Structure 1
């Protein structure tokens, strides 16, 4: 167990914060007449009633996730997408214009945006040519004001997993939070870092229902961390941050583990097929190894290929202006039929 002390980096105003106490926080028992929350007692102008506030701590959803992931409810936070968890982490642990976070480009863009919104400095250490951590450069760049290192693994937009032992090196040696963003972990050959939560007090693992679970439209992100860190999340979050519909539908979706596993298998098989077929195209220079539901493809003329596909109503992501991704397109793995259309269109590209 690391001897990390969360109080040493928590902002003073957050330590002293008295969180908002909603009607649903204050009364926990059974009742038949609710006259405490100024709700509309008559119901909703819909087929179903949504006139009551939802469970502020989403206990039923967390219990369903706990059964699947094996992480206790007390170590689980649900956010309005993982973006809410990223924002809360920066607000809780970084003093504006004083502290900084470290990101490892090319990486997910929201870490930098959330820091900018909170007026927190961002330090950058690029991944190396293999898209792995440059541990030496990271050690040289962090200073006494670095509070959080964000590691995306499998990484977006490159698709590869970051070496486990390198992340463990950060966890063991950095006296701040190491946030491992595992949005794509279901497609990966790597184990999740959730097993390490008891070992490292400074570890936060982000996951989501948006990718493999196919629930992007519900906006349900997950953070796993020590109980102490989860308490901080719950102190800062808006009282009812996950709406009733999202909670009910997420709960329904979480019962369909077999269907999700079938889709994951099919996606990884399609990923292998796409890699094989794309490698045959003369304008494809390199396909990077992927542990995600997308592949990064280096081409001779990314913008021209992007436009050609768009003309055929096929949209991929142009990443050619991102550092270390020059000439690259990021292609999500579609259904077999969608992938066939993609390949047909690329075969016709002149």
Structure 2
């Protein structure tokens, strides 16, 4: 059985759109795409009056080298969000098929499923936010075509082990695709699942330049999968998903100097993550700082709403994750620069000091 047998038959059979750049990329006089002959104001070297290559070779090869796969196993798009949407649209028939997720987790899996009118099978993480492979496999129905696993998980920060990923890939062969979202893997003490792609045709790995590579504003996401899956998704990919300026920024970030800078930032984040974990855990009003292998910490508070308001009023915006299962008392705090982290600690420490003073004053006034 081919992994493509899991895809929607109408997607497999469709004739993809053929863009002008796909049909002819050579030549010095380009009159096949109804473009402007004049470059726009600004930097004409980017040739933004011309449509970009749908999958720029230099960027695809740089990403393949970075992630340790072949160029044919790479599909580049507008962040991981686009890859998630493409997978759901290609493999889930509206009103018939489903995805499986383990809440609390990244919300876009469910959003894309809802847009496609696909079902959602939820298998909650354990109380310690670890993945239960047996529970996932037991909950699956024949309708499930995609199983999303986020590692490190967002918003909890916990890893899924390589052994668990491989066990799922084996168990799902011929049944569903396993989609491993590694948006935060660079911050973790763990290896990517990408080397397993050659062994498991049903394995898909998602990577991004938004986090560790500091290109959230450029929207460069990468899907790693078998050539068959990549070829299928290219059928429904937008004709020109990658703006030329974004490609240029990505290539600069992936240059030797760019990689050196990124490695320095990663080391700082890891150091600051440990520092913030210890400092936050010592603050009054903090119940727990969850273990994290990402660039954020999920923090349980005695009063998360008050902590959020205190930070917001001081100009510090963190993520309120109280709506997520099992995190009704938590905020997610990104690891920032040293100065930004200092500010978070100072604000929360000041709030707890003020709270203690008010409480003590109330007690004194009541007994006088």
TM tier relative to shorter chain: over 0.9
After the TM superposition, which segments of 4 or more aligned residues of structure 1 sit over 4 Å from their partners? none
With normalisation by structure 1, the TM-score equals: 0.97
With normalisation by structure 2, the TM-score equals: 0.92
User: What number of residue pairs does the alignment pair up?
Assistant: 346
Q: Which has the larger radius of gyration?
A: 2
Deviation at 1:46, TM superposition (A): 3.2
2:362 is matched with none
Instruction: Give the gaps of 5 or more residues in structure 2.
Output: 356-368
**Alpha-carbon distance in structure 2 between the residues aligned to 1:310 and 1:201:** 46
- Provide Cα deviations, 1:268-297, integer angstroms capped at 9, x if missing partner: 000000011111112111111110000011
Q: Secondary structure at the match of 2:283?
A: coil
2:314 is matched with 312
Q: Secondary structure at the match of 2:207?
A: strand
Moved more, 150-159 or 133-142: 133-142
1:180 is matched with 180
Q: Secondary structure at the match of 1:123?
A: strand
- Provide Cα deviations, 1:126-153, integer angstroms capped at 9, x if missing partner: 0001211222322221111110000000
Matched, 1:68 2:75: no
Q: Among residues 324, 341, 344, which one is paired with 2:343 in the alignment?
A: 341
Deviation at 1:253, TM superposition (A): 1.3
1:257 is matched with 259
Deviation at 1:20, TM superposition (A): 0.5
Q: What does residue range 319-334 of structure 1 map to in structure 2 within 5 Å?
A: 319-334=321-336
Q: What does residue range 1-350 of structure 1 map to in structure 2 within 5 Å?
A: 5-28=2-25, 30-48=26-44, 49-174=47-172, 175-255=175-255, 256-349=258-351, 350=355
Indicate if the aligned counterparts of 2:4 and 2:229 stay in contact, CA closer than 8 A.
no
Deviation at 1:331, TM superposition (A): 0.4
Deviation at 1:243, TM superposition (A): 1.0
Indicate if the aligned counterparts of 1:283 and 1:300 stay in contact, CA closer than 8 A.
yes
**Alpha-carbon distance in structure 2 between the residues aligned to 1:316 and 1:42:** 44
* Structural RMSD (CA): 1.1
Deviation at 1:164, TM superposition (A): 2.2
Indicate if the aligned counterparts of 2:4 and 2:228 stay in contact, CA closer than 8 A.
no
Indicate if the aligned counterparts of 2:165 and 2:193 stay in contact, CA closer than 8 A.
no
Deviation at 1:167, TM superposition (A): 1.9
- Provide Cα deviations, 1:145-197, integer angstroms capped at 9, x if missing partner: 11000000000000111122222221111121000000000000011001111
Instruction: Give the gaps of 5 or more residues in structure 1.
Output: none
**Alpha-carbon distance in structure 2 between the residues aligned to 1:164 and 1:47:** 45
**Alpha-carbon distance in structure 2 between the residues aligned to 1:231 and 1:299:** 47
